[in-house]
Structure 1
Amino acid sequence: MEQRLNWIDVAKGLGILLVVMSHAPMNPELKAFLFAFHMPLFFYLSGAVFRPKSISTWSFIKKKARSLLLPYFFFSALSYVFWYFIVRHFSFSPGEGVNPVDPLSGILISTPENYGLTYNPAIWFLTCLFVVELVFFLYHKVSKGQGLWFFILFIGVAGYATTFLEYALPWNGFVALTALVFYGLGYKTKQIWSSLSWRMTIPVVTVLFLLVYTVQSLNAERIDMRANIIGDGFYFYLAALIGITAFLLFVQKIDHSRSLLFLGKNSIVILVLHMPILNVVRAVFHYGLGIDLSVANTLPWTILFTATTVLLTIPFIFLFNRFPWFLGKPPKQTNDAPQKAFHLQKKAAL
């Protein structure tokens, strides 16, 4: 079990690096490649850690509200204040033309319409995951896990149908239907992954990623799950599943990477803070160093923006781990049993 949890955390660590990279200045083709599978991957990994529990629906809601909604609203409020006073005044930000009321109401609605998430575009994942977790919990509670493949097929068709609608549900309810496909697959197939030899891993992963690039290039749309844009459903699911497969095959070979384990275990902090921090990094390069951000989108620039942003999140990781309540985690319990036992023995001796 420890090894399985290791690869999931390593996958989250490497995956969150791809998320940060995808939001940095980047070549459009590389961005389309990453968007083809990086968010489906995170829903897959979330499903892989789902454990059926005999608890009431209300208890489940309270648990997920603490772990997902509490961080969402706390960091949304922080991000909005930072956006209002600082980020919206940057020339490379659309903030100057945005009515501040729209992103303020967007905190409650959590959809990208009318710049509702412009204060922190990446944070949508938390509310969407809350909906996904709740729906899957209810499905499993009623069905006991029976008919999962039919559920995945039905929910996938329903999700694809919603992409033709011109409106969105709060908390990305329509996007959650598509996300449930990957969540269910993660729950169902988490045990199939095994490690190949390096001799096999490198060529197989390379070929699979080339297939992702090719399949995505056939899609008329650049994937954007947050906006419920997936283009051609066949190409979307094919590219996403191939990308997840290639990614997880590679992860099996690096599942003891301490740095990726650290990032994976703290991926929620990076998720909620990397966009505000990235905007500061972009401002420093633009205003401080006079860099034209419109041309600073080659791979070396992308890596530099990504690495700088991730490094700057590390102090915040240590800060919020000291106050885990803000991350929706219970405070760490100190084990004072040995100390109590010592005092009891001392008292008895007296």
Structure 2
Amino acid sequence: MNKVKIQWIDILKGIGIILVVLGHTGIPWFFSKWIYSFHMPLFFFVSGVLFIPDKYKCLTFIVRKLRTLLIPYLFFSLINFFLANFLKISNFELSLAELFFGWNGLALWFVPVLFVIEILYYTINAFFKNNALVLFVVVLFCLIGYLFYVKNIYFPYKMNVVFCGLTFFYIGNISSKFLIAKSYNWKLYDLMIFSIFFFVISIFCSFFSITKLDMAYNQVGNLFFSIPLAFAGILFVYFLSIIVSFFSKKISKVLIYLGRNTFIILSLHQIIIMAYKHWFALWLHEQISSFLIRQFFLWVTLVFLIHVFNNYFYFILGRNER
């Protein structure tokens, strides 16, 4: 996959990370419920799309994932821990237990879960060369994950999420060649029709959904409903990403920038949101104005931090160069 071919993937990730941030900014319940119905499954899915099982040998693969996932995770975990305690942010008391046994409310939970999913999927592909057997193992894991949800079974670092998260990762991986090849053969009319169709399905189904899908707590609800609902949202963003990549260079540039810096945004946006929410509440009481001003300062701060990390601390992100 060259850079031209995966441009729409960066746009998709950019849209996805915007939805993640919005989901943590106190938006109305219905919009939050809709975003949650697919935004984290979207990141498991796109990680699967980008995953190439036979690209690296086993040891090289593990070392690479340690360098690009777990080491940055530990670094940003420490930043969140010390900032939250230093700033004394109200109703966000981080304990050492959370630091050492996995985050409760921070989006950083996604990183160790993705790490284990990638190692697990790599292992499954190494042991089971038959596609039917791989499918069987993935379905089995998904059912085990659903059992954890029903029985309220939780593990440190939210490892119970691995089982259902693997499903979205797997589907992203097996559909990657088709999605990438097909992305340059769509007509605008078809893109618009499919984008609107999946958007309406996603909104409509999330409205009638009894429970809010929350991957962070393995709250998956009815699998026969929640998984198709998640993919309706994922496909909406997929078609929207292609539309944007074809017809709006300026918007594409912004979304690609955000999409290529999702790790930094994912890791730091919540601590910044909570800090600004606390500070602005002291002098700005009008809810809508406060929300808009906080959004402005949030994204300005994130862009500044992206610049800092990309230029001076890129090695922490597992990169060899700026």
Give the TM-score taking structure 1 as reference length: 0.82
Report the CA distance between 1:275 and its aligned residue.
0.7
Structure 1 SS opposite 2:21:
helix
- Residues 179 and 281 of structure 1: CA distance in aligned 2, closer, same or farther (over 3 Å): same
- Residues 237 and 282 of structure 1: CA distance in aligned 2, closer, same or farther (over 3 Å): same
Distance in 2 of aligned mates of 1:304 and 1:144: 53
Distance in 2 of aligned mates of 1:288 and 1:145: 62
8 Å CA contact 2:87, 2:275 repeated in 1: no
- Residues 182 and 275 of structure 1: CA distance in aligned 2, closer, same or farther (over 3 Å): same
User: In the alignment, what sits opposite 1:108?
Assistant: 100
Distance in 2 of aligned mates of 1:310 and 1:54: 35
Report the CA distance between 1:106 and its aligned residue.
1.4
1:138 aligned to 2:128? no
User: In the alignment, what sits opposite 1:15?
Assistant: 16
Q: 1:318 aligns with which of 276, 285, 307?
A: 307
User: In the alignment, what sits opposite 1:124?
Assistant: 109
Greater mean deviation of Cα atoms: 233-242 or 320-329: 320-329
Q: 2:224 aligns with which of 229, 234, 246?
A: 234
For 1:166, the aligned partner's letter is: N
Report the CA distance between 1:285 and its aligned residue.
2.8
Report the CA distance between 1:145 and its aligned residue.
6.1
8 Å CA contact 1:216, 1:235 repeated in 2: no
Query: Deviation string for 1:297-332 (max 9, x for gaps)?
Result: xxx976664454222201111111122122122245
1:53 aligned to 2:54? yes
8 Å CA contact 2:37, 2:213 repeated in 1: yes
For 2:28, the aligned partner's letter is: N
8 Å CA contact 1:139, 1:145 repeated in 2: no
8 Å CA contact 2:284, 2:290 repeated in 1: no
Distance in 2 of aligned mates of 1:289 and 1:21: 20
User: In the alignment, what sits opposite 1:341?
Assistant: none
- Residues 138 and 70 of structure 1: CA distance in aligned 2, closer, same or farther (over 3 Å): same
- Residues 217 and 303 of structure 1: CA distance in aligned 2, closer, same or farther (over 3 Å): same
Query: Deviation string for 1:168-224 (max 9, x for gaps)?
Result: 112221101111111111111023333533333334322322211222233321111
Query: Which has the greater radius of gyration?
Result: 1
8 Å CA contact 2:13, 2:43 repeated in 1: yes
Query: Deviation string for 1:5-56 (max 9, x for gaps)?
Result: 1111111111111111111120000000000001000010101111123644
Structure 1 SS opposite 2:5:
helix
Report the CA distance between 1:150 and its aligned residue.
2.4
For 1:321, the aligned partner's letter is: N
8 Å CA contact 1:22, 1:34 repeated in 2: yes
Query: Deviation string for 1:81-113 (max 9, x for gaps)?
Result: 11112143x3xxx23xx5x5xx3221222152x
Report the CA distance between 1:61 and its aligned residue.
2.0
- Residues 316 and 65 of structure 1: CA distance in aligned 2, closer, same or farther (over 3 Å): same
Give the TM-score taking structure 2 as reference length: 0.89
Report the CA distance between 1:157 and its aligned residue.
1.6
Aligned pairs (5 A) from 1:85-96: 85-88=86-89, 90=90, 94-95=91-92
8 Å CA contact 1:219, 1:232 repeated in 2: no
User: In the alignment, what sits opposite 1:40?
Assistant: 41
User: In the alignment, what sits opposite 2:153?
Assistant: 167
User: In the alignment, what sits opposite 1:78?
Assistant: 79
8 Å CA contact 1:21, 1:306 repeated in 2: no
Structure 2 SS opposite 1:144:
coil
Aligned pairs (5 A) from 1:177-192: 177-192=163-178
- Residues 150 and 303 of structure 1: CA distance in aligned 2, closer, same or farther (over 3 Å): farther
Query: Deviation string for 1:229-274 (max 9, x for gaps)?
Result: 1112211101101111111011111225111111111111111011
- Residues 303 and 242 of structure 1: CA distance in aligned 2, closer, same or farther (over 3 Å): farther
CA RMSD, 1 decimal? 2.1
User: In the alignment, what sits opposite 1:282?
Assistant: 277
Distance in 2 of aligned mates of 1:205 and 1:305: 30
Report the CA distance between 1:80 and its aligned residue.
0.6
Report the CA distance between 1:144 and its aligned residue.
3.4
8 Å CA contact 2:14, 2:256 repeated in 1: yes
